[in-house]
Chain A
Amino acid sequence: MSEGAARAIGDRVPGQYGVVPATLTLREISIATAWNLQGNPMDAALLATARREFDVVLPLVPNTTSQSEGCLAMWLGPRSWLLVARDGSTHRMVRSTFAARRDALNDAGGALFEVSASRVAFMLEGPAASSVLAKECPLDFHPRVFGAGQCAQSMLGHVNALFYRPAATSAFIVLVARSMAGDVWHALCVSAAQHGYEVTHPAAFP
């Protein structure tokens, strides 16, 4: 019995939980700033503006992402993207610049919405990560279907969720609505307990 076993499944305190030894790690990923950018992907002006304002090329293929040093862009819909600031980037976005950027996009026939606090992100890493997600998510996480750098929106239990695979590793990031993040964290812990998991300190968005 590790000392972790004393704690209750669902706690956020770093340490080992569930069966021993832990084969998974679970942590919160802090989102500094996030924006919802919308517009017509056929419109060169919009793409150019996006690039100028966030130095990122908007991914046009559904459920894919693109990134620059400063920011990660995830495809949300045919006219909608989620931009997430990547920490430590030189172009670190600050909220005060919102109005200027919004107006720039409005002028380019698009839209920009502040959503930094809308979602909470968790990262799950370890050989069983995808099977833990697949307990409550109908997506196919097989690497042949859901490769590195891809993203997809679906359900995790009864909660809408955005899944992102940062690299060709076993790690997945899942983003969910803030008001339900507590439920989701608890659910992930319960599912992970049978594999044993370790809660580690929150980290920045990769």
Chain B
Amino acid sequence: MDASLATGAESDMLLIPCPYCGPRNQIEFTYGGDATARRPATDASAAAWVEFVYLRDNPCGPHDELWLHSAGCRSWFKVRRDTRTHDILASARIDDEIVEAAR
């Protein structure tokens, strides 16, 4: 099975590239929402927490988001997906930065 870190050609839309298992059908995954929302420090202000918990940039275009390969390797990872087209531009392990393959 192709385990290479699959970065998306256009044809990899909701065929989600798990950084470990390779491209898999969306039904194997659970959505985790905006990956850019940063959890504040434990001593951060209530305002910071309100922002983290409630406010979203909700971009119309490339969106960095979290997915869990819930029916697969149980890894949480990052996906950059265009919310206008569902094209997946890239994916990365949870602790890596997303790098888009040059087209």
Contacts and interface: CB of A to CB of B under 8 A. Distances in A.
A, B assembled together: yes
B2 interface: yes
Given A78-B20, A138-B24, A138-B25, A153 B72 contact: yes
B20 A77 contact: yes
A77 B74 contact: yes
Interface of A: 61-64, 76-78, 80, 138-139, 145-146, 150, 152-155, 160-161
A34 B33 CA distance: 34
Contact of B1 (A63, A76, A155, A161): A63
Given A78-B75, A160-B71, 7 more contacts: A64-B1, A76-B74, A78-B20, A78-B73, A145-B1, A153-B71, A154-B72
B51 interface: no
The list of the 9 closest CB pairs from A to B, nearest first, reads: A138-B25, A77-B73, A62-B3, A63-B1, A160-B71, A62-B20, A153-B72, A155-B71, A77-B74
A56 B3 CA distance: 22
B28 interface: yes
B57 to A, nearest CB: 29
A191 to B, nearest CB: 18
A78 B70 CA distance: 13
10 contacts: A62-B20, A63-B1, A63-B21, A64-B1, A76-B73, A77-B72, A77-B74, A80-B74, A154-B28, A160-B70
Contacts of A152: 1, 21, 72
Given A77-B20, A155-B71, A145 B28 contact: no
Nearest to B74: A77
Interface of B: 1-3, 20-22, 24-25, 27-28, 70-75
A76 B25 CA distance: 17
B71 A154 contact: yes
A61 B22 CA distance: 12
Contacts of A153: 21, 28, 71-73
Contacts of A146: 1
B72 A145 contact: no
A11 B73 CA distance: 33
A155 B28 CA distance: 7
Contacts of A64: 1
Contacts of A139: 24
Given A77-B20, A154-B28, A155-B28, A62 B71 contact: no
A146 B21 CA distance: 12
A64 B1 CA distance: 8
Nearest to B93: A78
Contacts of B24: 138-139, 154
A155 to B, nearest CB: 5
Nearest to A160: B71
